[in-house]
A = this chain, B = another copy of it.
Amino acid sequence: MVTIKDIAKVAGVSPSTVSRVISNHSRISKATTVKVKAIMEEMGYHPNVMAKSLVSKTTRTLAIVLPRPAEELFQDFFFGELLRGILAHSTRAGYDMLLAAATSPADESDTIARLVLGGRVDGVVLLSSRQNDPLVSMLAKHDFPTVLIGRTEGHDNIITVDTDNILASFDATTHLINQGHKKIGFIIGIPNLTVSVDRLAGYHKAMEEAGLTVNPEWIVDAEFLQQSGFRAMSFIMDIADRPTALVVIDDVTALGVMRGLKELDYNVPNDISLVSFNNIAVSELASPAISSVDIGTYQLGYTASHLLIRRIQENLNTGARNIIPHRLVVRESSIKDINKRG
């Protein structure tokens, strides 16, 4: 491995000078710069990242903390799209991303502590928020640069980027109401995620404002996993007073729901209509195509990375909540009497 000293020796200058050439220091003569750069090129010099980090106390690396059940995580295009947005910006800004997974809840804090307190990363991206997440408190306590995709309360040094999930769910529900539905169910996901809480709240709000009553049986706990979506759906169709439309927590669950409905010989949208969230690529490819709230997933990731890096570099706290706009994409699953060919 060729070091700064080797270059210095060959170039006949001091290591300090080589270092200054590398960092484009202003007070270095054109001549030395050119000579040293040529020698670096020739000898295949590559600066040792660790040594640099040790003295600069910065790593140009961000940690992406995967929500605990990494199992489910990658089942969903959603996280892929989020990662894509994060990577797009951070790569451009010259930051590397460290993927931090945890094997167990206890292990999660240890892993983060090791990375954060061990000086391995300059900032942290949290991909989802649970209510009262101890990880968030810990990061806030250390005042460590952190961006959370979702929301949290009582930590004003944690940057958050979020969808207005209450409004998004209000919009989705209202769309179904406008289609003439009065009995609308809701398939919820992992209960303690803030996203689940908020989307459920938006649904209730829309129902209430429209003067519609909600039968508690219409609200079914599912998981993001497809199988559970299926189970949830079998359950809901057996209710005597069953809904004619469903708001589903996300697209993958919606696929499971539709699959189950089909096996039970129900037609979507005619027997039961359906709207979901995230607008992942497959929602367009499903049959029928799924109406879904596009939450600008890529944009969420991109913005998160952007705000975090600004916080790190300029110590700018972008405070409070940063909301990415959403928009409902209406497709076949929520519109009866659609023109069909053939």
Contacts and interface: CB of A to CB of B under 8 A. Distances in A.
Interface of A: 1, 44, 46-51, 53-54, 59, 61, 64, 66, 70-71, 73-77, 79-81, 83-84, 87-88, 91-92, 96-103, 113-115, 117-120, 226, 252, 255-256, 258-259, 262-263, 265, 281-282, 284-287, 289, 341-342
Q: Which 5 A-B pairs have the closest CB atoms?
A: A74-B80, A46-B117, A265-B342, A50-B53, A49-B120
B101 A98 contact: no
A59 B50 contact: yes
A51 B84 CA distance: 31
Q: How many copies does the complex hold?
A: 2
A265 B99 contact: no
A57 to B, nearest CB: 9
A99 B80 contact: no
Nearest to A114: B46
Contacts of A91: 101-103
Nearest to A254: B285
A186 to B, nearest CB: 20
Contact of A262 (B44, B100, B287): B287
Given A70-B87, A87-B70, A265-B342, A50 B226 contact: no
A1 B255 CA distance: 50
A48 B118 contact: yes
Given A46-B119, A255-B285, 11 more contacts: A46-B114, A48-B118, A50-B53, A70-B87, A76-B80, A77-B77, A80-B80, A92-B103, A256-B285, A263-B341, A286-B287
A96 B99 contact: yes
Contact of A44 (B73, B76, B117, B263): B117
Contacts of A50: 50, 53-54, 59, 119-120
B263 A282 contact: no
B101 A87 contact: yes
A49 B282 contact: no
Instruction: Name, among A44, A64, A70, A96, the residue most crowded by chain B CB atoms within 10 Å (CB to CB).
Output: A96
Contacts of A115: 49, 96
Given A48-B118, A80-B79, A265-B341, A258 B287 contact: yes
B226 A285 contact: yes
B54 A48 contact: yes
